[in-house]
Amino acid sequence: MGGAPVRKVAVFGAGYIGLVTGACLADLGHRVVVRDINPEKVELLRSGEIPIYEPGLGDMVAQNKERLSFTLDAQEALDGAEVVYVCVDTPPSASGDADLSRVWSVVRSLEGASHLKAVVMKSTVPVGTGSRVRATLDGAGLGHVGYASNPEFTAEGTAVRDFLHPDRIVIGASEEATARLISDLHQGVDGPVVVMDVRSAEMVKLASNALLATKISFINEIATLCEKTGADVEHVARAVGLDHRLGHHFLRPGIGWGGSCFPKDSEALRQLASNTGYHLQLLSAVIEVNNLQKRRAIQRLKDELGTLTGMRVALLGLTFKPGTDDMREAPSTVLASRLLAEGAEVHCWDPMARPAEVEPWRSTLQHVSPELAVEGADAAIVVTEWPQLKEVDWARAVSMMRRPLLFDGRNLLNPGAMRALGFTYISVGRP
């Protein structure tokens, strides 16, 4: 700990962010109690199991079990706590703004916790939320308790590594002492600390995700133009990314971005702007391009097959990206819905996802291997770039399909090799 004191920390919310934050803070030496309102989740965590798939998280929880506990009881979590981390979800409300009801319920539960030193917001919230929380804390006699915004930039699948080796730790606080306290909590984390005011920190999170989403939508539009002009987007992206001012990250074309953050946060930022009377034109286009990208994939199959009615289509990979079991806002859900609406039969494979028994998944068939999913199919779509798909015996797969149409929505496979096997192979932005 290099001299920084060990703190007692209460983490509210045992989702991706709360679990990773709790486990990593315990790993840094702090005593952490994670509180969640879901009894099954807490029971599972107490028995040493992790309710989500996140590489390295299970080991980290196990290694730190003397310093890390789980509870349903807010008061138990708050007992003796010096710092409270708010890690609850903020899903879109009916108006598209972030729904902060879970945040407020945590803030309300702090009443009487006068021993607290700071409340830290990890949940992604609209700019200005900190001021409202501050006023609520003041009104509850907790004026002496500091408040900080400490947005999370971890990506699923690499969350533990991202937490311990971040590009930056952003701390937005109005008092220096609070900023120092939160900075000290991170002692042992390998990354620069950037301190600013609360509103700016709230904006950093939304702006970062929006810019990442912009890069992807941008390269997806260039990919479409490459298809129309005979250029190869893979060459273009590689060479554009070599410009150090641009960088090669998030220039991978595909059938669109999804997940728990980009769709929700880009919409929340757009609504935040609308609420101030300003229309964010660029971000609106970024979202629109992403919506179109998924629909274009279906249109391209339709162009090839003439019709989708009665066609059997295999979706290979369902999660919003590889290395996770997360299906939130996964492009596969839009593809499955569109295919079913066109009268196609949908067969699926994914190594991790177990989609809930809801539409569109209720009307699809899940298979245990990519080969079984493509058997008898008129077309297959690589939706998520799971590495397992590189290992498929495609020579066998092509002979098992009714029609050898393969749409590689992630440019995972080699076009020449696939065509040599007899596939009608289409991908994103490659001639």
Residues with a known catalytic role: 261
Interface with ligand UDX, residue 166, by CB under 6 A: no
Closer to ligand UDX by Cβ: residue 13 or 259: 259
Furthest-apart CA atoms within the chain: distance in Å: 73
Closer to ligand UDX by Cβ: residue 155 or 231: 155
3-state SS class at 181: helix
Please report which helix (H) or strand (E) contains residue 409, including its range.
none
Structure token pair of residue 371: 């080969």
Question: For residues 313 and 403, is the Cβ–Cβ distance under 8 A?
Answer: no
How many other CB atoms sit within 10 Å of the CB of residue 232?
A: 17
Please name which of 229, 222, 285 lies closest in space to residue 254, comparing C-alpha atoms.
Answer: 222
Residue 203 beta carbon to ligand UDX: minimum distance, rounded to whole angstroms: 15
Residue 135 beta carbon to ligand UDX: minimum distance, rounded to whole angstroms: 27
Closer to ligand UDX by Cβ: residue 12 or 153: 153
Residue 168 beta carbon to ligand UDX: minimum distance, rounded to whole angstroms: 11
Residue 348 beta carbon to ligand UDX: minimum distance, rounded to whole angstroms: 17
Residue 322 beta carbon to ligand UDX: minimum distance, rounded to whole angstroms: 8
Q: Please provide the DSSP assignment of 342-374 as one string.
A: TT-EEEEE-SS----SSTTGGGSEEESSHHHHH
Q: Please provide the DSSP assignment of 70-105 as one string.
A: EES-HHHHHTT-SEEEE-----B-TTSSB--HHHHH
Please name which of 132, 2, 191 lies closest in space to residue 119, comparing C-alpha atoms.
Answer: 132
Please report which helix (H) or strand (E) contains residue 162, including its range.
helix 159-164
Measured CA to CA, the distance from residue 9 to residue 119 in angstroms comes to: 10
What Cα–Cα distance (Å) separates residue 418 from each residue in 268, 404, 412?
41, 10, 11
Closer to ligand UDX by Cβ: residue 336 or 401: 336
Closer to ligand UDX by Cβ: residue 78 or 316: 316
* Residues near ligand UDX (CB under 6 A), total: 20
Question: How many secondary structure helices (H) and strands (E) does the chain include?
Answer: 16, 14
How many other CB atoms sit within 10 Å of the CB of residue 257?
A: 27
- Quick one: which of 156, 234, 345, 408 contacts ligand UDX (CB under 6 A)? 156
Please name which of 356, 392, 352 lies closest in space to residue 372, comparing C-alpha atoms.
Answer: 392
Structure token pair of residue 175: 């008092």
Closer to ligand UDX by Cβ: residue 10 or 251: 251
Site string for ligand UDX, 189-228 (x = CB under 6 A): --------------------x--x---x------------
Residue 344 beta carbon to ligand UDX: minimum distance, rounded to whole angstroms: 23
Q: Which of residues 273-302 bind ligand UDX (CB under 6 A)?
A: none
Residue 311 beta carbon to ligand UDX: minimum distance, rounded to whole angstroms: 25
Site string for ligand UDX, 235-274 (x = CB under 6 A): ---------------xxx-x--xxxxxx------------
Q: Which of residues 320-359 bind ligand UDX (CB under 6 A)?
A: 320-321
Please name which of 299, 380, 390 lies closest in space to residue 338, comparing C-alpha atoms.
Answer: 299
Give residues with Cβ within 8 angstroms of 381, minimum separation 6.
Answer: 255, 297, 301, 313, 314, 315, 316, 335, 406, 407, 408, 409
Interface with ligand UDX, residue 152, by CB under 6 A: yes
Question: In this chain, which stretch among 20-28, 58-66, 154-162, 422-430 interacts with ligand UDX, using CB under 6 A?
Answer: 154-162
Closer to ligand UDX by Cβ: residue 258 or 370: 258
Residue 250 beta carbon to ligand UDX: minimum distance, rounded to whole angstroms: 4
Interface with ligand UDX, residue 85, by CB under 6 A: no
Closer to ligand UDX by Cβ: residue 334 or 380: 334
Does the CA dihedral 224-226-227-228 come out positive or negative? positive
**Contact residues for ligand UDX, defined by CB under 6 A:** 152-156, 209, 212, 216, 250-252, 254, 257-262, 320-321
